[in-house]
A and B are shown apart, each in its own frame.
Chain A
């Protein structure tokens, strides 16, 4: 139980294009999902908190207009990197919080490379 998936697992795109990453909780409903970013040899950094049916809450320094988050259902959150640039290349990981239990379960991550 408590499985979280992400799609795609990796993506290569040209600079200036937009990329959408999906995060799904497969066997549970998640009122809250989180998006993290991880650069090589660094730890995970929280980007934003996504609550179903409401606007996401972004961490300081994260541009909300660049990283668009939509949490339209209890099992799906999407992160869109708009006008991607090479410095946005990173490992993007989502997590979903199990209702009634504070535990977060993480997806396998999406590796983004912007050329």
Chain B
């Protein structure tokens, strides 16, 4: 099961793009990259996921490198409400599909 590595914390200025990196060098071919975030004292919120291609939705963009060993979550215009812990998670293999294993994540603080 692939594990992920994320920076412990990041600061971002309000209105600017926030680029959150994630390394998953041992990812296997059938594993997806999921991003969730958790605002203090709330349940995690799904952001986006992808397999090989870059993905974009109303919340964020996900850029996955060609070798799939790393990815970047992009919040295009960070707001104060984007302050949260962001988790990059790689979906486990088919035998235990759906058992998301949360790491420590990246604490993102958006400042005015």
In the complex, what residues of A have CB within 8 A of residue B104's CB?
A: 43
- Majority SS at the chain B contact face: loop
Query: CB of B10 within 8 A of chain A?
Result: no
Given contacts A32-B98, A34-B98, contact A105 B46 (CB under 8 A): yes
In the complex, what residues of B have CB within 8 A of residue A108's CB?
A: 42-43
- Interface contact A34-B99, CB-CB below 8 Å: yes
Query: CB of A104 within 8 A of chain B?
Result: yes
Q: Chain B interface: which size bin?
A: 20 to 34
- Majority SS at the chain A contact face: strand
Q: Chain A interface: which size bin?
A: 20 to 34
Name the CB-closest residue of A to B45.
Answer: A106
Q: Which of A7-24 contact B (CB under 8 A)?
A: none
- Interface contact B99-A102, CB-CB below 8 Å: no
Name the CB-closest residue of A to B104.
Answer: A43
Interface flags for A85-115 (1: CB within 8 Å of B; 0: not) read 0000001010101000011111111010000
Given contacts A93-B43, A108-B43, contact A103 B99 (CB under 8 A): no
- Interface contact A46-B100, CB-CB below 8 Å: yes
- Interface contact B102-A106, CB-CB below 8 Å: no
- Interface contact A102-B91, CB-CB below 8 Å: yes
Residues of A that sit less than 8 Å from B by CB = 2, 4, 6, 32, 34, 36, 43-46, 49, 91, 93, 95, 97, 102-109, 111
Q: Which 9 A-B pairs have the closest CB atoms?
A: A106-B43, A44-B102, A43-B102, A106-B44, A109-B43, A108-B43, A93-B43, A107-B43, A97-B98
